[in-house]
Amino acid sequence: MNPHRPGRSSNGQAAYKDFDATSLYCPRCRQAGPVRKRLLLVLPQGDEYEYLCARCGASVGMKIEKNAKQDPLLY
Ligand SMILES: [Zn+2]
């Protein structure tokens, strides 16, 4: 089984760090750079985030983070 199950700590905000997409290519700056993550929408299947260039603020990407709290035992 999975040893990393969060158990009962699923209430409240998860304080984990994001390791993905800390640096993305920005077409306006014409180089990869640090990005800021902004929550756009909360969808039933997950949270939709927009990535903004930390230099110029241009939108450089979107991502839907799947809701990891979903339990496969739910019917
Ligand atoms: Zn930029």
pLDDT beneath 50: ranges in the chain? 9-16, 18-19
Concatenating the DSSP letter of every residue in 21-32 gives -SEEEETTTTEE
Give the per-residue pLDDT at 64: 92
What are the Cα distances from residue 74, in Å, to 47, 70, 71?
20, 8, 6
DSSP conformation class of 75: -
d(CA 20, CA 33): 13
Ligand 1 centre to CA of 66 (Å) is 26
Ligand 1 centre to CA of 69 (Å) is 33
Instruction: Give the pTM.
Output: 0.59
Ligand 1 centre to CA of 74 (Å) is 42
Percent of the chain with pLDDT over 70: 61
Domain ranges for the chain, please list them.
36-66
pLDDT digits (tens, 9 = 90+) for 37-53: 999 999 988 999 999 99
Ligand 1 centre to CA of 11 (Å) is 36
